[in-house]
Structure 1
Amino acid sequence: MIHTFAISGYRSIRSLVLPLDRLTVITGRNGTGKSSFYRALRLLADVAQGRVIASLAAEGGLQSTLWAGPERISREMRQGTQEIQGTVRKERVSLKLGFASDDYGYAIDLGLPVAAQGSMFNLDPEIKAEAVWVGEALSRSNTFATRSGPAVTALDETGRRHTPITNLPPYESMMMQAADPRNLAELLVLRERMRGWRFYDHFRTDAEAPARSARIGTRTPVLSADGSDLPAALQTIREIGDKEALAAAIDDAFPRASMAIEESGGKLELLMHQHGLLRSLRAAELSDGTLRYLLLLAALLTPRPPGLMVLNEPETSLHPELLAPLARLIRDASASCQIIVVTHAAPLVEALAEAGIRGYELTKSLGETRIDGVEPVPWSWPGR
């Protein structure tokens, strides 16, 4: 389980180190930084996929995602007795992301590129430093792999430090190039674990949504991010997952309703029978809220739970009466995987609070995303 998540220099988040629990809820008013928190988590996951540079480019590049306020905010600035203004920068420009789990921790520092003559990619950020360690927080005594510039230093089988890589490109993470089952098996384990994280963000439910049409179906223990394989995912839960929990969850949200999967020529289509109707409704006929709930149900009842699942505003288009059943679904799913919920729906937060969550409310002060009352957590960033 991840017990600490850290962000520095990303959009409205100047510096944030948060303790996490089995079920953590992030809430706050519009514009307080919930989307930035969610995107930061996704960027961290992208490191293990080898696409963090491309993801930052899609957001407008490093310059567009960096903290835009002053390097330091004084007490006078917060009190309004001093004008908010920049000063001479003392630290390097950087975007830092990291986490610590029960066994391993990882952090990355991305900075401005050194222009290369003749290159057309001089706007790409560079990976300046990385570190992987064992324990609560990074220190020299518990680090087993670090990257500074192009060099990767690691512990060998005898516990001695050596430098297996000296020419790592600034656009490649050591996650991709240094993970070795013989020499750095821990890094390989960590990378595969991060690749297993799942993110579900605003499933499409419009008339052309992939989940509304029949699709070729194969066993699908993990619902895709766009929900296109919804019928196959639900049928997989029925065959190799908890079919009783599936039926109970549908009845909890839609009393006396039932679901069916129809197969024709290898294509699967979702049908739903609701109490009082004389025929079942196909997915194309379901309301946006009903379809979204079924998508969330398929994600949360997965027969193959991930190490981490992140739900971004799962309440979108749901009727208020569905929030309590959704909260129960999330609560039950958190028994088999760690879940982070990002939401601004107070009723959902209140329903989840009954499950004993760790909750944070984001606020904004002088453009900076903040959380009041968070206990300090040990944390260190890798040096360049």
Structure 2
Amino acid sequence: MQVWSVGIEGYRSIRRLNFPLKRLNVFIGENGVGKTNLYRGLQLVQAAALGTLTRELAMEGGMESALWAGPRKKNDKARIRLHADVGALTSDYAYRVEAGLVQQAGGTTIGAGFLREPQVKEEELIFLGGRRAETLLVRRGPAGYARDESGVRVDLDNDLLPSETALASLKDPGRYPDLHVVRAAMTDWRFYHSFRTDPQSPLRHPCLAVTSPTMSSDGSDLAAVFATLAHIRQDTADLDRAIADAFPGARLWARTPGRTASFGMVYEEFPKRVFDASELSDGTLRFLALAGALLGYRLPALVALNEPETSLHPDLLPALGRLIAKAAERTQVWVVTHSQILADTLEDATGVQPRRVYKQDGETLIEGISSLGEVDDDDG
């Protein structure tokens, strides 16, 4: 299921943004313009499906830190509003969620919750794939309903806490099949922000030899991902090409796993010497981790990369762009970058025009896209 559009409102430097997505989506901008807030907004949509939205916001410093920092209209509620349209061939489902502050009266909280914790205020899931739109889930505070497999309205359980999303809580796939489909699609997304390369990094050490078709977000199973391609799928052609593109004359060595899996690199200058992961440079290791994320046996429904060029030598960026373009043939990819080299390579390889992110009067904006999601050209 592809993501067809995303909306973020009231979050940090984003006052209001709605934008369509394609198979490959590239956002480029300078440091400090709010690119990571775009990436993080999509991550929070997934957190709603996982049931961790309010915890994620609390970890950011609470609503005081996460809310739009600019001016609001007098009657505008202090809310973070997120939405995503997902579907196989078109926008079949529209999910919307709002988070806000704990309601107070006379200095005390109303309902279950702590004074400063973020709370889910509203949720809605609408099916758009039929002749007419059908509301599948509505939540206003503690009250609301969901439609079951027969289309019958079922009131939400009174035990649903303000810190919980209904989308994550209604987990019976037989009774709520549409909610299950949307939740499964969103929880399948993978976000890759950075990879540790210090001596204790899991990338540098063997991992358990367990078949791993998709790499975890921290790359801790990278060796198993490579072993799965080499010894289960027995097809490393794309991986070999990507590594040769980045490191001419070099090749990956994925050892036959025992209880653990490990890997190394063999270089043209030293054909009989395997350089273990613990010996590789930080840049080489990061590129290999990105290759594992983008060329795994089974890719997730969406791969989101936040500044993947970090700590890579500029000479590696064209190869990284071609690697990302290859992955976009198999899944939906979201890239946030400040590298013009990477953005240009992606445009040359795919024809997709990067969208420039900028800040105006403290507000993050996307060039060529209005706050309502209207695109000013055919490439957006």
TM-score, normalised with respect to structure 2: 0.89
CA distance in 2, matches of 1:372, 1:219: 43
Are residue 253 (structure 1) and residue 246 (structure 2) matched? yes
Q: Which amino acid aligns with 1:305?
A: L
Query: In structure 2, the residue corresponding to 1:202 is in which secondary structure?
Result: coil
Are residue 112 (structure 1) and residue 94 (structure 2) matched? no
CA distance in 2, matches of 1:156, 1:254: 54
Q: Which amino acid aligns with 1:7?
A: I
Q: Which amino acid aligns with 1:360?
A: R
Are residue 361 (structure 1) and residue 356 (structure 2) matched? yes
| Alpha-carbon contact 1:14-1:368 (below 8 Å) kept | yes
Query: In structure 2, the residue corresponding to 1:45 is in which secondary structure?
Result: helix
Question: 1:305 offset after TM fit, Å?
Answer: 1.4
Question: 1:104 offset after TM fit, Å?
Answer: 1.2
Aligned to 1:276: 269
Distance 1:347 1:200, change over 3 A: same
Question: 1:97 offset after TM fit, Å?
Answer: 0.8
**1:212-252: CA deviations, max 9, x gaps?**
12233221111122212211111111234441112121111
CA distance in 1, matches of 2:111, 2:120: 20
CA distance in 1, matches of 2:288, 2:122: 42
CA distance in 2, matches of 1:206, 1:98: 37
Aligned to 2:259: 266
Are residue 26 (structure 1) and residue 27 (structure 2) matched? yes
Question: 1:331 offset after TM fit, Å?
Answer: 0.9
RMSD: 2.2
**1:87-108: CA deviations, max 9, x gaps?**
xx21211001111123212110
Of 308, 320, 334, 1:326 maps to 320
Query: In structure 2, the residue corresponding to 1:183 is in which secondary structure?
Result: coil
CA distance in 2, matches of 1:134, 1:117: 33
| Alpha-carbon contact 2:306-2:335 (below 8 Å) kept | yes
CA distance in 1, matches of 2:170, 2:78: 26
Q: Which amino acid aligns with 2:276?
A: R
Distance 1:264 1:363, change over 3 A: closer
Aligned to 2:282: 288
Question: 1:286 offset after TM fit, Å?
Answer: 0.9
Aligned to 2:195: 203
CA distance in 2, matches of 1:113, 1:343: 36
| Alpha-carbon contact 2:266-2:275 (below 8 Å) kept | yes
Percent sequence identity is 41
CA distance in 2, matches of 1:292, 1:202: 8
| Alpha-carbon contact 1:12-1:368 (below 8 Å) kept | yes
CA distance in 1, matches of 2:217, 2:200: 16
Query: In structure 2, the residue corresponding to 1:165 is in which secondary structure?
Result: coil
**1:166-223: CA deviations, max 9, x gaps?**
5522111111222432332100111111111001111111232211122332211111
| Alpha-carbon contact 1:21-1:358 (below 8 Å) kept | no
| Alpha-carbon contact 1:363-1:369 (below 8 Å) kept | yes
Question: 1:268 offset after TM fit, Å?
Answer: 2.4
Higher mean alpha-carbon deviation, 234-243 vs 21-30, is at 234-243
Any residues of structure 2 matched to 1:22-171 within 5 Å, and which? Answer: 22-71=23-72, 89-101=74-86, 102=90, 103-114=92-103, 115-116=108-109, 121-135=114-128, 141-156=133-148, 159=151, 161-171=153-163
Q: Which amino acid aligns with 1:284?
A: S
| Alpha-carbon contact 1:152-1:166 (below 8 Å) kept | no
Q: Which amino acid aligns with 1:280?
A: V
Query: In structure 1, the residue corresponding to 2:297 is in which secondary structure?
Result: coil
| Alpha-carbon contact 1:238-1:246 (below 8 Å) kept | no
Aligned to 2:166: 174
Question: 1:358 offset after TM fit, Å?
Answer: 4.6
Query: In structure 2, the residue corresponding to 1:280 is in which secondary structure?
Result: strand
Q: Which amino acid aligns with 2:331?
A: C
Are residue 13 (structure 1) and residue 14 (structure 2) matched? yes
CA distance in 2, matches of 1:120, 1:173: 14
Aligned to 2:186: 194
Distance 1:178 1:151, change over 3 A: farther
Q: Which amino acid aligns with 1:107?
A: R
TM-score, normalised with respect to structure 1: 0.88
Query: In structure 2, the residue corresponding to 1:105 is in which secondary structure?
Result: strand
Query: In structure 2, the residue corresponding to 1:314 is in which secondary structure?
Result: coil
**1:93-136: CA deviations, max 9, x gaps?**
10011111232121100011125489772211111110111239
Are residue 373 (structure 1) and residue 368 (structure 2) matched? yes
Any residues of structure 2 matched to 1:220-239 within 5 Å, and which? Answer: 220-239=212-231
Are residue 309 (structure 1) and residue 319 (structure 2) matched? no
- Paired residues in the alignment total 359
CA distance in 1, matches of 2:39, 2:274: 37
CA distance in 2, matches of 1:3, 1:118: 36
| Alpha-carbon contact 1:38-1:312 (below 8 Å) kept | yes
| Alpha-carbon contact 1:20-1:358 (below 8 Å) kept | no
| Alpha-carbon contact 1:240-1:303 (below 8 Å) kept | no
Query: In structure 2, the residue corresponding to 1:123 is in which secondary structure?
Result: coil
Question: 1:317 offset after TM fit, Å?
Answer: 1.4
Q: Which amino acid aligns with 1:96?
A: R
CA distance in 1, matches of 2:200, 2:171: 41
User: Which runs of no fewer than 5 residues in structure 2 stay unpaired?
Assistant: 375-380
**1:267-320: CA deviations, max 9, x gaps?**
322111111125221111111111111111111011111111101111111122
Aligned to 2:377: none
